[in-house]
Amino acid sequence: MIKSNDRRKDSIRPDTRIVYRNMYQDRYILTNDTGPDMESYRIILADRSGRIYGENMSFSFMLDHDPHGLAEYEHTEGSFKELNPAYFERNTAVDGLIGQAVGDAFGVPVEFLSRKKVREVNLQDMAGCESGLSFESYWNNTIPAGAWSDDTSMAVAAMSSVTANNGKIDFDDVMKQFLNWWDRGQYTSLEFPFGLGGTVDKAFRRYRSGVPALECGGRDFKDNGNGALMRIFPFAVYCIQHELTEEETLEVIRKAGSLTHGHEISTLGCFIYTLFLDECIRLRSPDTAYFNVVKLKMPYYRSLFYKETMDAYDMLFNKITRTGFDPDAIPETGYVADCLTTAVYCILNTDNYEDAVKTAVGFGYDTDTNAAVTGSIAGALYGLSGIPERWLNVLEKKDELAEFAERFSKV
């Protein structure tokens, strides 16, 4: 198996060079290698806009699979940075956290509505939960437009902890910050916390009664709500920025999830999310990311997780990209496997932030969390400029969120 550190040698860096382009100038061959022997280079393929759709290939492998052949290519010199200047300007922590918060806030007013009802409502803008809406909101009259919920609060609490600890993860302190959120109203979009999930509540009770932080997460099958996945984004960014190997990433993600959700099914969901986010950011191509992280790595996951755990993700592994797949086969629940499947489905079947998040909300029931998880990936993938301004303009504490993420990414 290729370790993620080895993999990164073949991925895009600021000094990645363009060595060939085809005569239509819509396909570029890039490499990080230097030296005279082009045949031994490991190459990366990119299109005109710098979207990567193949990497870590040899020249001969590429030529075997290219219908046109090298005759249509010519030597050229340049850098990937010239091809796609925006690639290195992104800040994943900021883009993803704002993407998560916007999705979360967009989904809040229709939380717990059925799929059928949500599609009837067909939300286009950030709505408040006032009465007089065309639908009855669960949060009747309590939550204004643009307010993000527990999902984003817990992600911000985790970010804040890591930032305060100078970039180190202290899981006990992360748990303390979670309690500061729920018990003291810190890290909230309004002046009060809202949206606490049942499994998270149980974990908080255990912690208050003296159970060590890493043992607080429920380990029953029924503890597999999406409450760890919805707040795992900061830890995913931590693993990506530190270029951890897959084994190290799994270790961090397992512990981060275990604060509230200790079952393997939740762990595997958070782990796949992290690797998928990583590939989406590097390749800017969700289809390739899905293939690399979900399809190719199935045997790897199988070697680490029980069969029942793998079976929980059957739809994600085997069904969502099949032709004729009916997305309504994904159940309307708050189950972690359904949430990840929804998020990946939405990313694969849209090509911009707004459509991804609207599609996620359209799955109904746990609309804010589905949209928060989808939004974190879509935000990181399309960047801050891809998020609709009319949504951003009403987001509560937008600047504070961006500052939180900025500080987090620096430590």
Nearer to Mg ion, 109 or 383 (CB): 109
H helix or E strand, kind and range, residue 103? helix 92-107
What's the rounded Cα separation, in Å, for the pair 72 and 23?
Answer: 6
CB of 104 to Mg ion, least distance (A): 6
Burial class (CB in 10 A: 0-12, 13-18, 19+), 131: exposed
Q: Which is nearer to Mg ion, 279 or 368 (CB)?
A: 368
Q: DSSP letter string over 137-206?
A: -TTTTT--TT---HHHHHHHHHHHHHHHTTT---HHHHHHHHHHHHHH-TT-SSSS-----HHHHHHHHH
- Contact with Mg ion (CB under 5 A) among 270, 368, 371, 375: 368
- Comparison of 229 and 275: residue with beta carbon closer to Mg ion: 229
Exposure string over 40-62, b if 16+ CB within 10 A, otherwise e = ebebbbbeeebebebbebebeeb
One residue of 16, 31, 92, 149 binding Mg ion per CB under 5 A: 149
Choosing from 55, 150, 278, 338, the residue that interacts with Mg ion (CB under 5 A) is 150
| 234 neighbors 171 (Cβ within 8 angstroms) | no
- State the nearest-atom distance from the C-beta of 154 to Mg ion, in Å: 9
Write out the H or E segment, with its range, that includes residue 122. none
Closest CB to Mg ion among residues 240, 360 = 360
Least distance CB 196 / Mg ion (angstroms): 9
- Contacts for 27 with CB less than 8 Å, ≥ 6 apart: 21, 45, 46, 47, 48
Selected range binding Mg ion among 122-130, 151-159, 210-218, 283-291, rule: CB under 5 A: 151-159
Tell me which stretch binds Mg ion (CB under 5 A): 146-154, 156-164, 185-193, 244-252: 146-154
Bridge partner list, 121 = none
149 or 370: CB nearest Mg ion: 149
CB closest to Mg ion, residue no: 149
Rounded to the nearest whole angstrom, what is the least distance from the CB of residue 52 to Mg ion in the complex? 34
Structure tokens at 24: 């239509």
User: Which residue, 193 or 218, has its beta carbon nearer to Mg ion?
Assistant: 193
Beta bridge partners of 28: 21, 46
Shortest approach of Mg ion to residue 366 CB, angstroms?
A: 8
**Judged by CB under 5 A, how many residues of this single chain contact Mg ion?**
5
Query: What is the three-class DSSP state of 287?
Result: helix
Closer residue to Mg ion in complex, CB, 264/332: 332
Half-sphere exposure for 19 (CA within 13 Å, toward CB): 20
Q: Encoding tokens for residue 320?
A: 């969502």
CB of 266 to Mg ion, least distance (A): 16
Among 10, 151, 173, 354, contact with Mg ion (rule: CB under 5 A): 151
Least distance (Å) from Mg ion to the CB of residue 340? 16
Window 185-224: contact mask with Mg ion (x via CB under 5 A): ----------x-----------------------------
For residues 311 to 340, the per-residue mask of contacts with Mg ion, x marking binding by CB under 5 A and - elsewhere, is: ------------------------------
φ, ψ at 126 (rounded to 5°): -60, 125
Binding site for Mg ion (CB under 5 A): 149-151, 195, 368
